[in-house]
């Protein structure tokens, strides 16, 4: 049975609770403007230009608030798609001014502070990775939330084992960790230099040790800003992993922004993430996933502790 492509826009026209006071104010202003226009004390039959301007602006704002729906409107339409073989070059040009960040790596001030290899993650080797890569056979993988690169490097190994030698993996992380993360049992000996916990440098070192510098490229920014830029640049992926912030609002934002970048290939596309059945559920990951599924009429599928949405390619399904 053929599946329909999900709507990317919320069909509901409800006004968010945050927007309601704004709309009430605008309605009052609009009513005032109409009253002014209909006043019998006005002798001039022509409506003053400044009143026309106010009325037009009020109508525009009210319509935009109503049409925006709830909290699932995440920016403009993405740019024209970049061909998969040009994605690495695009990111290198836009983020690193055309020079590989691995050139002359590591810098001297951190050379003696890095471990030769230190790959740490959570749920980074689950069966879901091989299951989805086998199913989708992606040319481009986007990972939101990289930390030290455990899952990214696991996916790199899987793509090579499965003969996907040209697959590029785009990693997004600000490499700052979170407040108190260095108190974690396995992070207590984390080095710090002038407030820099050097997660990015250790991630880079791990990529070097895995001989993956030609297949992994990264964007050292917040997930929101990086995902919006990928959208603007037309960088899409057939497989997207979302595993950054675990509170509801962070997860909700990352899922919505990432979904805009999902471009199903001949075997479809998948967006997935961790912590659907872990303690992090209570912080909002599962709530965000379930809400997204309801908004877009999708079915949440589960593989171990991971959730995923499979989106078919309509062209290849006929």
Q: Are residues 35 and 94 in the same domain?
A: no
pLDDT at 315: 61
Contacts of 286 (CB under 8 A, 6+ apart): 275, 276, 277, 307
Q: Are residues 157 and 235 in the same domain?
A: yes
pLDDT at 15: 40
Number of domains in the chain: 2
Q: With beta carbons less than 8 A apart as the criterion, state whether 246 and 275 touch.
A: yes
**Spatial CA neighbour of 89 closest among 273, 217, 203:** 217
The count of residues in the chain is: 318
Q: Are residues 46 and 189 in the same domain?
A: no
This prediction's pTM? 0.75
Q: Are residues 108 and 164 in the same domain?
A: yes
Q: Are strands 269-273 and 306-311 parallel, antiparallel or unpaired?
A: antiparallel
Q: Are residues 57 and 114 in the same domain?
A: no
73 domain residue, yes or no: no
Q: Are residues 174 and 205 in the same domain?
A: yes
- For residue 308, the SS3 value is strand
Q: Are residues 51 and 113 in the same domain?
A: no
- Domain containing residue 258: 84-311
Residue ranges for the chain with pLDDT beneath 50: 1-18, 36-45, 61-62, 65-68, 317-318
CATH number of the CATH domain containing 211: 3.40.50.150
- Among residues 67, 97, 123, which one ends one of the domains? 67
pLDDT at 258: 97
Q: Are residues 185 and 268 in the same domain?
A: yes
316 domain residue, yes or no: no
58 domain residue, yes or no: yes
């Amino acid at each position: 049975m053929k599946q329909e492509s999900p709507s990317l826009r919320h069909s509901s026209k409800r006004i968010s609770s945050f927007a309601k006071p704004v709309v009430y104010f605008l309605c009052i202003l609009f009513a005032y403007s109409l009253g002014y226009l209909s006043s019998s004390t006005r002798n001039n039959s022509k409506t003053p230009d400044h009143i026309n301007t106010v009325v037009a602006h009020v109508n525009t704002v009210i319509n935009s608030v109503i049409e925006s729906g709830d909290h699932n409107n995440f920016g403009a339409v993405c740019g024209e798609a970049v061909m998969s073989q040009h994605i690495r070059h695009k990111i290198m040009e836009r983020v690193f001014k055309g020079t590989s960040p691995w050139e002359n790596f590591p810098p001297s001030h951190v050379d003696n502070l890095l471990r030769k290899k230190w790959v740490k993650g959570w749920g980074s080797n689950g069966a879901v990775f091989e299951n989805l890569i086998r199913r989708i056979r992606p040319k481009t993988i986007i990972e939101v939330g990289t930390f030290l690169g455990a899952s990214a490097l696991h996916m790199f190994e899987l793509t090579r084992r499965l003969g996907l030698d040209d697959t590029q993996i785009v990693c997004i992380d600000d490499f700052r960790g979170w407040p108190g993360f260095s108190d974690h049992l396995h992070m207590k000996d984390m080095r710090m230099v002038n407030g820099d916990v050097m997660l990015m440098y250790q991630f880079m070192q791990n990529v070097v040790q895995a001989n993956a510098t030609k297949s992994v490229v990264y964007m050292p920014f917040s997930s929101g800003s990086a995902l919006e830029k990928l959208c603007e640049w037309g960088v899409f992926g057939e497989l997207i992993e979302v595993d950054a912030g675990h509170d509801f609002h962070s997860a909700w934002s990352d899922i919505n922004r990432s979904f805009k970048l999902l471009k199903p290939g001949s075997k479809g596309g998948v967006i997935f993430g961790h912590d659907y059945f872990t303690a992090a559920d209570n912080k909002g990951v599962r709530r965000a996933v379930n809400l997204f599924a309801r908004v877009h009429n999708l079915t949440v599928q589960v593989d171990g502790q991971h959730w995923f949405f499979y989106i078919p390619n309509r062209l290849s399904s006929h």
